[in-house]
Amino acid sequence: MSSGWDGQYEAFQGQSGGFYDPTSSQYNYSDASAGNVQQGGSAYPNFMTPSDPYATTDQQGGDDEISNEPPLLEELGIYPEHIYQKTLSVLNPMRSSQHLRQEAAADADLAGPLVFCLMFGSLLLLTGKIHFNYIYGIGALGCVAMYGLLLLMNVTNEVSFTTVVSVLGYCILPIVGLAALGVGLSLRGLPGTAAAAAAVCWCSYSASKLFVTAFNMQHQQLLVAYPCSMLYAVFALITVF
C-alpha cells in the first residue's frame, strides 16, 4: 500500500520538478516597466509603491507652471508698481520724467482715484459739507471734457478714457491735502487762498506731466495744464467755501 503511494509521489515530483523554490531560476519574473529581470523578486513590485491618487499625466511640469504664473493682482489688472510710480509722481511733481515709464503713466487703474475721492468727500464731511454729489458730478463732467480735448489735441496716439479718469483721479491728491488742512484751520483768508492756489498749480502740473508721458504729447504740457487747472480750481472752491 505504501509502495503505491511512494510511486505516485515520485511520479508527481518528476512531473512538477519538485517543491516550490523561490530562489530557483525557474521562477524569475521580468519587470515590464524597466525591462530588467529580477531574481527571486515579487511578480508585482510596483503595487507596493505609494503613489499620489490625484496625480495626472499633466502634472509632470505642474510645479513649474504654478511657479511661473503671475501674481494674483497682475491677473486682475492691478499693478502695484504702477500705482506707486504714479502716486510718487503726483507727490513729487519736480521728479524727472525719466523715472516714470509710459506704461505706468498710461495704466488705467481706477482703485486709487476712487479711494482719493472718498477721502476728499470724507474730509469735507468733517467740516459739515456733504458734497459727494458735487465731487462725482463735477469729476465726471471734467473727465468727459478732458477726454474730448485730448482727442482733439492728440491725433497720432490713441487716447483711453479710463486713463484720463485715472490720471485726473490720482492728481486730486493735493486737493485732498488741502481738505485735510481745512479740517483744523479756516481756509477763508489770504493764507487759505494761497494754499488753494498752490494746490491747484500742483494738481495741474502733475496731471499735465502724466498726460504728456502717457500719450506722448511732448511740447504740449502747457496746453494740457490749462484745462486741468480749471477743473481742479472748482474742487478748490468747494474745499474753501
Whether residue 68 is predicted with pLDDT greater than 90 in this model: the reply is no
What distance in Å separates the CA atoms of residue 77 and residue 163, rounded to the nearest whole number? 13
DSSP state of 20: -
Domain residue limits, the chain: 1-41, 78-240
Q: How many angstroms separate the CA atoms of 76 and 81, rounded?
A: 14
Phi–psi pair at 166, nearest 5 degrees? -65, -45
Partners of 38 in the β-ladder: 29
| Cα separation, 145 vs 20, whole angstroms | 96
Instruction: Return the number of other C-beta atoms located less than 10 Å from residue 108's C-beta.
Output: 15
- Confidence class for position 229, pLDDT limits 50, 70, 90: very high
Residue 90's pLDDT is 86
Mean pLDDT of 171-185: 93
Q: In this predicted structure, what is the pLDDT of residue 107? A: 77
Alpha helices (runs of H) in 92-189, residue ranges in sequence order: 102-105, 111-126, 132-153, 161-170, 173-184
How much is the average pLDDT of 9-37? 50
pLDDT of residue 11: 54
At residue 163, does pLDDT exceed 80?
A: yes
Mean pLDDT of 190-199: 94
Nearest to 237 by CA among 156, 112, 124, 136: 124
Polymer length in residues for the chain:
241
What is the pLDDT of the chain when averaged over all its residues? 77
Q: Say how many Å lie between the first and final Cα of the chain, rounded.
A: 129
Residue 49, pLDDT > 90, answer no
Torsion of CA 168, 211, 145, 198, to 10 degrees: 50
pLDDT top residue among 141 and 59: 141
Across the range 54-78, mean pLDDT stands at 58
- Nearest to residue 171, comparing CAs of 135, 140, 209? 209
**What does the pLDDT average to over 173-197?**
92
User: How high is the pLDDT of residue 21?
Assistant: 53
In the predicted structure, residue 165 carries a pLDDT above the cut 80: yes
Q: Mean pLDDT lowest for which of 30-34, 193-197, 210-214?
A: 30-34
pLDDT winner (highest mean) among 75-84, 121-130, 210-219 = 121-130
